[in-house]
């Protein structure tokens, strides 16, 4: 069930104008995808990325937090290119560095949940039925976060959105297996902080530096093609998750506080653009 290459396949990437999304799109083009569809809300950055990547790239300005916009854009893709073989749910936002009760803009809650948790569901629902009906190897890759595995102060809403994304994505994986659709694989990727600018100001913690974007994309891409169910980066994040399930809560909290997890967002600023 491994895909050796995406050559000849149609790939769609959300949040594709910069960061991880742009790197995923570059990887698809480099491997010879028949078409690579870029979705992003940033029209200017999207144009720049599309111009860099060449003729096989198709761009659409899409606000994935808007369910109607997602449906309209998906219909346009199907009309022009047909069904999608590889879907990369990459779009995401983060709002943080405050305790939850200090939240001033309640719209940030809605936006975070809409983009990080609901958008992958709505986008996937536009393309997954055709993947299921088809016979070729198909993939859904969802970029979640280690924040969805271990609680973390000053990012409670972000963590909630990623917990939701992980629960949904892995459940869909099991549903496909139960229904016998072995040609469609779902991979959920849970990295810690990455050097894309989204987490500017966040701090690495014990044995867990800020991850390099190229390394994350390389691992995620390889594991997606292999059909891996869950990818947690780095190893310390897997350890923290395991200990969180085994230790009493009070001891867990002392451990995660001591290694720096609970203070990693203290100086978060985020991307200025």
Which pairing describes strands 138-143 and 184-191: parallel, antiparallel, or unpaired? Answer: parallel
* Residue 122 is among the residues annotated as catalytic for this protein: no
CA distance 160 to 84: 29
CA distance 209 to 217: 16
CA distance 103 to 254: 26
**Any residues with CB less than 8 A from the CB of 149 and at least 6 apart, and which?**
163, 166, 190, 232, 237, 240, 241, 244
CA distance 71 to 62: 10
Which of 99, 122, 158, 262 is an active site residue? 158
In the chain, DSSP assigns E strands to: 10-14, 35-40, 57-61, 86-89, 138-143, 184-191, 230-233
Active site residues: 158
């Amino acid at each position: 069930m491994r895909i050796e290459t995406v050559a000849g396949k149609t790939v769609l990437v959300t949040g594709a104008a910069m960061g991880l999304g742009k790197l995923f799109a570059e990887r698809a083009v480099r491997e010879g995808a028949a078409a690579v569809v870029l979705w992003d809300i940033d029209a200017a950055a999207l144009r720049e990325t599309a111009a860099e990547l060449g003729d096989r790239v198709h761009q659409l300005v899409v606000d994935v937090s808007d369910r109607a916009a997602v449906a309209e854009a998906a219909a346009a893709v199907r009309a022009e290119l047909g069904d999608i073989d590889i879907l990369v749910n990459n779009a995401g936002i983060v709002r943080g560095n405050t305790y939850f009760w200090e939240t001033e803009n309640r719209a940030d809650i809605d936006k975070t949940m809409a983009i990080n948790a609901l958008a992958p569901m709505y986008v996937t629902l536009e393309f997954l039925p055709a993947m299921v009906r088809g016979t070729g190897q198909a993939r859904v890759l969802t970029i979640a976060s280690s924040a969805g595995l271990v609680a973390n102060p000053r990012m409670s809403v972000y963590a909630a959105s990623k917990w939701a994304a992980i629960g949904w994505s892995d459940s869909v994986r099991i549903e496909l297996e139960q229904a016998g659709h072995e040609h469609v694989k779902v991979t959920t990727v849970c990295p810690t902080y990455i050097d894309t600018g989204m987490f500017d100001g966040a701090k690495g913690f014990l044995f867990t530096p800020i991850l390099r974007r190229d390394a994350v994309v390389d691992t995620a891409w390889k594991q997606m093609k292999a059909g891996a169910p869950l990818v947690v980066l780095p190893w310390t994040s897997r350890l923290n998750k395991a200990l969180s399930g085994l230790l009493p809560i009070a001891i867990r909290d002392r451990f995660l506080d001591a290694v720096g997890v609970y203070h990693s967002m203290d100086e978060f600023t985020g991307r200025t653009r």
